[in-house]
Structure 1
């Protein structure tokens, strides 16, 4: 028996660091998981330990190359975005990899928009929201103006996916999906860096820009391997749907954040879109993906804790509740908003949560109706008033019977489908580096695609 041909992928999340081998049909044949303790930066804010990460990346890959049963043809990387690694003249990291949750002084962002605004216009052109270090361009501005001595020593700044590619190739590049996802750097109208990037001279420290499918042929310990340039994880997770779906769709990726993606938009974001909290991610071909997000999973967790205490039930009770039509009908008859949200605000929410029900099941149904109504608003924001025929839902909420049935009910003109792939961004990274076309059965076969019909009002 010859060695099995595989594509290797590192999928680097903030918590879990994963390594996969996929065969030629994108079936997983091997995986490894690791978690690392955070380091802290000079202001004691937690940040990724990139030195330890680099050691792990190299050792895992070298062990794999030496296995007798796999022939690694290609290697690619999918990681979280909004994170820069700044290299000095020797190609070594110069600074900690600042966490995008790190607060920066308000004067930094105020000064930036005073200089380069009007703010709404700039945000619309760059498909970004005003989000501190979540806009990686803001990090460069902060370093240049508030840490000038250290900034002068930066030779090149790489987004995390491209830094990990650089660990293996030694070739510094920039790539569309990392540059274009809510960074403030990219002007979607001009399809180039925004003017402010040139005025600040940042184009000189951003590596040459290459398409996301680019690969670098390496001789790795005597093995010819195609090494990818890395891809932003949200764009990677979208790619199997773009390549595998026949018709236009919106994807709702659910978890701590619930993000609705529409990769089929014609124009740029408007200032109204920015007011509605829409942002752009980027497809691997440089086209915009209109997105809107809500902290739904986080809010769900907080409200479940509240209901568990209120009714004195065990913490996993919510997992057992299935959709009940009569309960829905009863709540819907004289519907009022009951829940005050903690992670976001909504014009309909009361000043205080009051629960009029005596059973957990009733209160839980009511919670899910309210959360799903908010989810529908988020989906409609990215649909641009067009009816899009297909809606895919992936992530944690696909297991929530009430959420799925209510979405199918509220979006009757749209075919609602759930998919099951915990490996979405990893498979996306493998697809990005492959020349292979996906066949029409790919999603139903690899993603356990399931269609949901709206329930019938009795």
Structure 2
């Protein structure tokens, strides 16, 4: 039996085909789901979701005949429909703080905790508070309502024409349900809502077949049953109940977190990359390769330097690595000895510091202060204090996003070479600059070691594949160390990565979304009191001074996560000395997530 599961989440809406014989998902359609921030209040775009649902059912039914439809949605959401089945009022977003305006009046009306087991929650997290606010604020529209529905059952109504409610949504901190009597609460009677409440039906009940007009629209069989549906937290619980697992607890926070903390693209690897990997898996022969990587991939990387930078690089100088992390290990081991002094910028990527410390290398952190990037004078000054063996810099940089201008980069590399300082250029965020073309440090010095990766621009973080461009004299040392530590990078990822250089059109669309997010954050973060501590030249980060709000970015980040449900990275990770004053915001997520995160932060700061 093939069941189409309609899953309306707070972040994404999905329609999945599930084979009940194997309990496996065999197909999926997904779309971003964010509230519409328009009058009369933030609300869910149910018509856009309805179009998505119908299109998904149509497409999926062509692939595999759908035998039944089940529905699950996020909670704290109710729907008021009139006698014709149309919305009496837009479906309110539970994170809207409007219901707080009548908090005192609502608290006087709501049932005690002992009756419903419902804690008093802020904003619209109590569904009863939403209905209470809507009735007071929009009495004429509320009076049009003929039926009150929970969100899963609203979609069931649209599919079948049958109105119902169900206890998992009614009982999820709504103030509407008394679990001790299995009946509606005293609030429902006090407010005169009982007459509006649809009959309560079990989640497993078949409300009816899909409506005839939807049969014509989707191609589904006329008698395709639609189940009543349930709250998504309970849907998550069911697989555990059906398993033979030992005793367990399932915890739901009830609110999704928007993450601006992780420097990871939210898009999958390009289609060609995934197709190449799938073909390699079907072929089935995945094994060790040369320690420096597949010849075809090394050739493709070398050609990339000619095409993108206009620089000739011999494939023999390329070392393919297990992500850039392995490349840093290899560079540090091949170039430095314990006790050597190596300069890095502060703020900077914390793994530089951590890896070198583990290898016994003395780290010289150069505080940038008001400067956006490391430059030649910084290097001269640090070398005068005590000679340096190496310098490592990134452009665009993590966490700042700052790009070293071409002339400053040339001066930095030249100064290092004149002083006998080995150079490592971290170029992992190349192809993600927004104001100037990429310039590789290879253009300014033959002795430079460059590290890059397929993780960021190419959206291949989990594939763990990167590369190095080495001076000739370092190729053999790196090869020997790589053979001992890693044997070889994963062949599957290498085969797939060859195709990444052919996906520029697809990847530039992803970059265009980053650019849109960047424009949004450049405007909104300073308006919210987060001054930009560095220019947002590249990568997908905004590095901000948070001293208008706090002098403890770690505590501030914890509080923002707990109360606003937005995650960002405290600056202490990047700068042990001054990081208490800063935070990093990643804008690698969807544009809707960025809009939502900023709206949450704004509400929270008020």
Note the C-alpha offset of 1:175.
Answer: 0.6
CA gap of 1:140–1:358, structure 2 versus 1, over 3 A, is closer
Measured in 2, the distance between the counterparts of 1:137 and 1:144 equals 11
- Residue matched to 1:342: 559
- 8 Å Cα contact 2:72/2:229 also seen in 1: yes
C-alpha RMSD over aligned residues = 3.6
Deviation at 1:90, TM superposition (A): 0.8
Asked if 2 retains the 8 angstrom alpha-carbon contact of 1:41 and 1:96, the reply is no
Alpha carbons of structure 1 residues 192 and 338: separation in structure 2 relative to 1, 3 Å: same
Aligned to 1:208: 199
- Which of 187, 190, 199 is the aligned partner of 2:178? 187
**In the alignment, which of 146, 153, 163 is matched to residue 144 of structure 2?**
153
* Other-structure match for 1:301: 261
Query: In the alignment, which residue of structure 1 is the partner of 2:348?
Result: 312
CA distance in 1: counterparts of 2:261 and 2:71, whole angstroms = 31
Partners of 1:134 and 1:70 in 2: CA distance: 38
Give the Å deviation of 1:129: 2.9
1:87 is aligned to 81
For residue 224 of structure 2, what is the aligned residue in structure 1? 225
Query: 2:237 — aligned with what?
Result: 238
Q: How does 1:5-84 map to 2 (within 5 A)?
A: 5-23=1-19, 24-35=21-32, 38-43=35-40, 45-65=41-61, 67=62, 70-84=64-78
Structure 1 residues 124 and 303: CA distance shift in structure 2, 3 A:
farther
Q: Distance in 2 between matches of 1:356 and 1:300?
A: 15
* Counterpart among 99, 102, 109 of residue 108 in structure 1: 102
SS in 2 for 1:301: coil
State how far apart, in whole Å, the 1-side matches of 2:59 and 2:575 are: 58
Identify the match of residue 92 of structure 2 among 90, 98, 102: 98
Return the offset for 1:113: 1.5
| Higher helix proportion | 2
Given the two structures, how large is their TM-score scaled by the length of structure 1? 0.54
More strand by share: 1
- 1:78 and 1:236 in contact (8 A); partners too: yes
Which runs of no fewer than 5 residues in structure 2 stay unpaired?
Answer: 265-344, 350-397, 400-454, 463-551, 564-569, 580-606
Is residue 6–residue 74 contact of structure 1 (8 Å, CA) maintained in 2? yes
Q: Any unmatched runs of 5+ in structure 1?
A: 252-259, 262-291, 321-336, 347-352, 364-458
Q: What pairs up with 1:376-455 in 2 under 5 angstroms?
A: none
Where 2:2 maps in the other structure, the secondary structure is strand
How much does 1:99 deviate? 0.8
Could you tell me whether the CA contact under 8 Å between 1:123 and 1:129 is conserved in 2? no
**Count of residue correspondences:** 285
TM-superposed deviation, 1:135: 1.0
Select the residue among 138, 147, 162 that pairs with 2:153: 162
**CA deviation profile, 1:165-221 (whole Å, cap 9, x unmatched):** 111111010011110111111123333221121121111111100111112341645
For 1:294 and 1:310, the matched residues in 2 are separated by 35
Q: Which has the higher contact order (CA 8 A, sep 6+)?
A: 1
Q: Distance in 1 between matches of 2:52 and 2:562?
A: 41
Which residue is 2:484 aligned to?
none
Q: Distance in 1 between matches of 2:553 and 2:200?
A: 50
